[in-house]
Structure 1
Amino acid sequence: MAVVNYSIYKVLGTLSENKDGMKKQLTCTSWGRYNPKFDIRAWDEDYSQMTKGVTLTLEEILELKEILNSVDLEEALEEAKQERAEAKKLETETSE
C-alpha cells in the first residue's frame, strides 16, 4: 500500500465523533507537496488513521458556505424524505 504524506496545519472544528473515537473534522491539510486545502474527513485520536473524505479549495468552500447559508436545510431534508417515501410507495404499487 502506498504511503500517503499529509500535514494537518489547523483543525477548524469537529462535526461529530463516532463510538470508535473517530472525529469528523474540518481541517486545513496539505496532501503531498501541495499547499493546504480545506478537508472534511474522520480522523483517529492521533491523526494516524483516516476515512475517505473530501478536499476543497478556498473557492469551493466559499461557494459551499454560500449554498449552506441560502438553503433551508431542514426543509430540504424533509422534502427529500417525502420524495423517497413516495418513490418507495410507487415502487411497491407497481411490483404488485
Structure 2
Amino acid sequence: MANFKYEIIKNIGNISESPKGWTKELNLISWNNREPKYDLRDWAPEHEKMGKGITLTKEDLKELRDILNNMDL
C-alpha cells in the first residue's frame, strides 16, 4: 500500500460511535498536502487508523445536503 499523508483541518461532527470506540466522522481533510475536502469515514479513537470512506468537494456536499433535505424521512 502506498504511503499517504493526511491532516484533519476541522472536525465538522461525529455521526455515531461503535462499541469498540470507532467514530463515524465528517471532517475537512487535506490529503497529501492538497486542497482540503470534506470526508466521511470511520476513525479509530486516536485517529491512528481509518476505515473506508468518501471524500466530497464543497459542491458535492451542497448537492448531498439538498438531496437529504428533500427526502421524506
TM-score calculated relative to the size of structure 1: 0.72
Q: Moved runs in structure 1, 4+ residues, more than 3 A?
A: none
1:28 aligns with 2:28: yes
SS at match of 2:52: coil
Name which structure has the greater RCO, CA cutoff 8 Å, separation 6+: 2
Q: Quick one: which amino acid aligns to residue 11 of structure 2?
A: V
**Where does the alignment leave 5 or more consecutive residues of structure 2 unmatched?**
none
Correspondence 1:32-47 to 2 at 5 A: 32-47=32-47
Q: Quote the Cα distance in structure 1 between the aligned partners of 2:23 and 2:46.
A: 11
Superposition RMSD on alpha carbons, in Å? 0.9
TM-score calculated relative to the size of structure 2: 0.94
Q: Quick one: which amino acid aligns to residue 55 of structure 2?
A: T
| Structure with higher helix content | 1
- Rg larger for: 1
Tell me the equivalent position of 2:58.
58
What is the number of equivalent residue pairs in this alignment?
73
Q: Quote the Cα distance in structure 2 between the aligned partners of 1:2 and 1:48.
A: 16
| Structure with higher strand content | 2
